[in-house]
Every structure is written in C-alpha cells, then in structure tokens.
Amino acid sequence: MPRMRALVAIAVVCCAARAHEWPFGGNRDLYNLGLLGGKASDAAAPPPATEAPTGGRRSFSIDRPANDDGPERLRVELLFPEGPLERAGVVPGDEIVGVAGAGFAKGSLAALAKALGNGKVTLLVRPAAGGATRKVKVQVPGAGATHREIATAALDWLAGRQQEDGGFAEALSGKNGAVVATSIAGLAWLGSGAHGDNVRKAADFVIAAVKDLDAEAAMGPSGGANWSQVNWGLAHAAIFLGELHARTPERGVAAALHGIASALVRNQEKSGGWAHGPGGPNALGYVELNIVTGLSLMGLGLAQQSGYEIPADTLARAEAYLQESGGGDGGVGYSTNAGQKGQGNIGRTAASWLGYLALGKKRDPWCAKMGNYVRRNADKVLDGHASLMQHILLAGVAAEAQGGDARKTYWATMERDLVLARAPDGSLQPRPWAESLSMGSNSDVGFGQVWTTAAWAMVLVSERGKTGFPGFPALTGG
C-alpha cells in the first residue's frame, strides 16, 4: 500500500451529547466480536479508558492505514449478557489469540470473521488469571445468516427502539443528530418495503424536527467559531422524505421537502460547496467539505423529482466546486483548500455521484468520471475519514447502484466487517479503524448504535437483486 502521510484535525460537535451505552455497556472504541457477544481491545496496548472521549479537536498523523486488519491478540473487555462467549466461560481480561488451532499471525479480523461463518467456533484463549492457552468451543446461534436475514433483524431492532414521537434518543449534536439517525432508519425501513408504520412515524418526526433546524440556519452563529451542523440534518431529511414521496406522493411531505430544499439552496456557500452549516469558518478554520456537498445534492435531486425547481446557478456552482476539489480522475476531494484538494475519496465521491443520479444527470461527463472512480475504488472504504460508517453507507449504496465489479469489490472487503458488526440482539456495532485508533476517539461510537445499525441496514436493503428488497429506485436512478 502506498505510503501515506496525513495530518488530520477533527471536531465533533456535542450540542446535546449524552452518555450512550451499547447493549452490553461501555462507550469505548472496541472491536465487536460478531455473534460471539463480546467487545475487545488490542491486548498489546494498555487497557482502554473506561469511557473514551468521542468529541473534541484532535490532531494525529499516520504513515499507513494501520491496524485495520485487527490486533494479533484480542483482550476481552465486555460481554453480552448470556451471550455465547459468556456461556462458554470466557471472562473480561481473557485474550483471544487464535481460532481453529492457529494464531492470528496476520491480524484477527479476517480469521475471526471466517470462523464465525459456522455455527461452532473453536477459540484459542489465554486466561486473564494466567496459565496455559486453552481451546474454548463456542456455540454461535445465527451464524451464516443471509444478508436479507441480517437486514430483517436489524430493522426489527430499530423498530423496537423508535420512540413514541417517531424519533430516536439524541446522541451527538442533539436534535440535528436525531434527525440524521431517524432519516437513515426511515430510509432503511422504506427500502425494505416493510415497517410502514415506523416509516410514517419517522417522517412525522423529521418533518416536525426539521423546522427547528431551519430556524437554526436562519439565526447563524452568535459569535466566535461556527458550530452549526444543520446541513447534515437538512440533507439527510431531504433524502428520506424525497425517497418517501417518490413512492407515496403526499402534499404534506412534498411541502416539507421543498422547504428543506430551499434551505439547502440558501445554505450553499458562495464557492459552490456546502459546509457543516452556514455562518462562516468553524472551530478548525475551514468552511466547505464535500461529503456535505454530496449529501446536499442527493437531497436536492430527490426534491427535484418531486417537482422542486433548483436554481440552475446552484448546480453549476456545485459542479465547478466539486471538479476543482478533485484530482482529475473523477474523485471528489475534501475541499478546494490547500492540502485538501486533489485527494479523492470513495465516500465523498459516492455521495456526489448518487446526487447526480438523483438529479437525472447520469449522462453528464462529470457524472461518468465520478462513476468510474466509484467502480475502481469501491473497496477503499477504510481509507475514509471522520465517520467510517458514513463511508460504508455511501460506498455500499453506490456500489449496488453500479453493480458488477463495484458490487463485487465492495463486498469482497466489507463482508468481513458486516460479520463482525453483528451482535446477538440483531443490532450492528461500530469498529475501531486506523483513524479512530490514532486519535483515541471514534465518531461512530458517539453517534450511537442506532446510527451504525441503520446505516448497515440501508446498505443491505439496497441489494435488490440479492435480497429481494425494493431498495432505493428514486435515489439510484432505477
């Protein structure tokens, strides 16, 4: 892998952050052990803090996408109550050092995921209390489930946690974060063709909540750094309501969608890109970032399908900005700023390409270049930035829309992570990766398990040919 040197600074806004507990406790950046029912850390490193920070400004440098194959020794930190590991007698502090009689010489993740394809796994466990490594046979109910079965369990899990008002408990970014999580869950239910009552409740919540987000955009910052992240909520709300309206047109949904689209048009920066929110530079001193630009175009494209007229200048300036940010190969860079220009990325490019599909610009030359980039780089998800799940989601939906080689290369990489993301209760859990390990903080942990479960579910229901779900025909252009 080419040597890479990057200095990354991340700020995660906790407008109304609340401590969030995973099903079996802890807010730490840990490896999920799939249906074994446990979470683990790198046994070669000091034990992680009880509660790792999930927000704030952090800078770090990496020479390569390190640690994405997993540690060679997994220290068990948390156990799912009455889960397979606990029933097999494994306790916190034990180290899992191999499977089926072989150690994790090339990292633990691929070997563990392969072993979990069977209903019974033999682990090599080094006791926390000391002593010889022993073989532990673990029964794993539900191993080998199809993508449709995994998606169905995740959708049911989400339905069981939807609140009476149709939303979900706030995690990072308060109401804005709740709109994002509810929109992704709503899209997952919608793409499955089931859970109609949950979709309706989610839409009612988003339509009511987004009015507060629009008001926040109108107010702007009160001084100092700009901490608004309203465009995340507006864009995700537009994508959800747009896909909903394409299936079951309703005047109330259309009116809300058009209002959101108008807010996104107003919030476009003079450069042509979109920022976290309007109001000038954020705490890190930058304005635009193109993953928000791509998401905004996705929402605007779906609004256009419902009859909303996008000002021509809006799209022309957005395309010029995206092209300027890229490196000429169709990849969309972080922004047009020095040090962020020309660095293509699968998540950013997938979002912008999906936006062009929704806008009906499939034959546009720039759309074709972005599509070729997605096809060539569908397996580069772990090179993403800030939120790994955001890249898993966007790349997965785009790979399915591409089909063929893009779909194959995406799943050749991500099947491992899907297997390890599963938990015994049907939820899907986040994982550490090079960036989160380097900075000691994982945004996906802070966003909460609804976010990760809904994002994975949305990827799975987009696989129309494999799972039989309706998927997202309005978003993906067919």
Give the containing element (helix H, strand E) for 38.
strand 38-42
CA–CA distances in Å: residue 441 to residues 6, 29, 48, 359, 449: 17, 7, 11, 36, 16
H helix runs in 193-224, sequence order: 196-219
pLDDT digits (tens, 9 = 90+) for 132-167: 999 999 999 999 999 999 999 999 999 999 999 999
* pLDDT, tens only, 183-206: 999 999 999 999 999 999 999 999
Hey, what domains does the chain have and what are their CATH numbers?
18-55+66-139 (2.30.42.10), 147-476 (1.50.10.20)
pLDDT bracket for residue 56 (50, 70, 90): very low
Distance of CA 91 to the CA centre of its chain: 31
| DSSP character at residue 12 | -
Q: What is the per-residue pLDDT for 21?
A: 52
Each residue's pLDDT tens digit, 278-306: 988 887 788 888 999 999 999 999 999 99
Quote the pLDDT of residue 337.
Answer: 86
Please say if the pLDDT value at position 212 is more than 70. Answer: yes
258-285 average pLDDT score: 93
The angle, 0 to 180 degrees and rounded to 10, between the axes of the packed helices 251-267 and 290-305 is 140
Split at pLDDT 50, 70, 90, the class of 9 is very low
Question: Is there a contact between 473 and 352 (Cβ–Cβ < 8 Å)?
Answer: no
Q: What is the pTM of this model?
A: 0.92
Residues near 312 by beta carbon (within 8 Å), at least 6 away in sequence: none
How many CA atoms lie less than 13 Å away from 352 in the CB half-sphere? 38
Q: Between 61 and 292, name the one with better pLDDT.
A: 292
| pLDDT of 253 strictly over 50 | yes
For residue 460, what are the contacts with CB-CB under 8 A and spacing of at least 6? 147, 148, 150, 151, 154, 467, 469
Q: Which residues of 290-321 are buried (b: 16+ CB within 10 A; e: fewer)?
A: bbbbbbbbbbbbbbbbbebebeeebbebbbeb
Nearest to 201 by CA among 236, 171, 163, 232: 163
Residues 234, 173: Cα–Cα separation, whole Å? 13
CA neighbor of 171 nearest in space, from 392, 449, 442: 449
Highest mean pLDDT among 37-51, 149-163, 331-345: 149-163
Alpha helix (H) residue ranges in 248-387: 251-267, 290-305, 312-325, 346-358, 365-377
Residue 274: strand, helix, or coil: coil
Express as a percent the part of the chain with pLDDT over 70: 89
Q: What digits encode the pLDDT tens for the residues 423-451? A: 999 999 999 999 999 888 899 998 989 99
State the Rg of the chain over Cα.
Answer: 22
How far is residue 70 CA from its own chain's centroid?
19
